[in-house]
Amino acid sequence: MTAATSSCTHRFKIVVVGDSEVGKTSLVVRFVEGTFSEEYIKTIGVNFFIQDLDIGDNRIRFLVWDTAGQERFGPVRQEYFQGAKGALLVYDKANQESFDHLEFWIEEINRYCSGIPTILVGNKADLAEVVTTEQGQQLAAKHNLPFIETSAKTGENTTQLFYELGTQILAILEGTD
Ligand code: G3D
Ligand code: MG
């Protein structure tokens, strides 16, 4: 698993969904830059990030779509989801409400891109736990999703997350899933 720079074998559009403030942008920025910033300029529209990753013999180019805060005001537009090959469904382990709201986001994914590989992500693993690991695992099992806990602050599992998602998408492409 290494970050890659030259020509790629696949391009995957990835969407990141979940409540506002759960750390979606931070996770993406951590993945694309390997750093964590405590401050972001909150612009209007969709932010778009590109990062390559080697998975086995494949060089994957992730085109990561990140909302610029629309989720604060309600549903995210259909265009956001269009053509997505995978999704990260993120909640904040220190925020119960963000966990309780996941069913809403699962419905949104199902409405616009039903069946795409989706990973349930419990972020802010560096903070005192409100939503337990077991609760995350149970919800993941209920919806048949892989589950991973991350910290955009420490970098825990942030590259692993994209590696897992890319592996799932490749498995579907190669018909091994
Ligand atoms: P969003 O894109 O889901 O809205 P952001 O979330 O990435 O903007 O992050 C929201 C706040 O949570 C930010 O704090 C950010 O620094 C913080 N954050 C994100 N991920 C983590 C994490 O893993 N651990 C901790 N401790 N904090 C995290 P500010 O204060 O800058 O608004
Ligand atoms: Mg954001």
Q: Which of 17, 25, 26, 90 to mutate to test the pocket of ligand 1 (most atoms within 8 A of CB)?
A: 26
**20-49 pLDDT, tens per residue?**
999 999 999 999 876 555 544 444 468 888
Q: Of the ligands numbered here, which is closest to the C-alpha atom of 46? A: 2
The band of 6, judged by pLDDT with boundaries at 50, 70 and 90, is low
Buried b (16+ CB within 10 A) or exposed e, 106-120: bebbeebbeebbbbb
**137-177 pLDDT, tens per residue?**
999 999 999 999 999 999 999 999 999 999 999 999 988 65
Q: What is the pTM of this model?
A: 0.91
**CA dihedral for 139, 77, 45, 42, sign (positive or negative):** negative
- What span, in angstroms and rounded, lies between the C-alpha atoms of 82 and 121? 21
Ligand 1: which atom is nearest the Cα of residue 26?
Answer: 7
Helix extents (H) in 54-95: 78-81
Q: Whose CA is nearest to atom 22 of ligand 1?
A: 124
**CA dihedral for 115, 31, 161, 169, sign (positive or negative):** positive
Tokens of 145: 């999703």
pLDDT at 83 over 70: yes
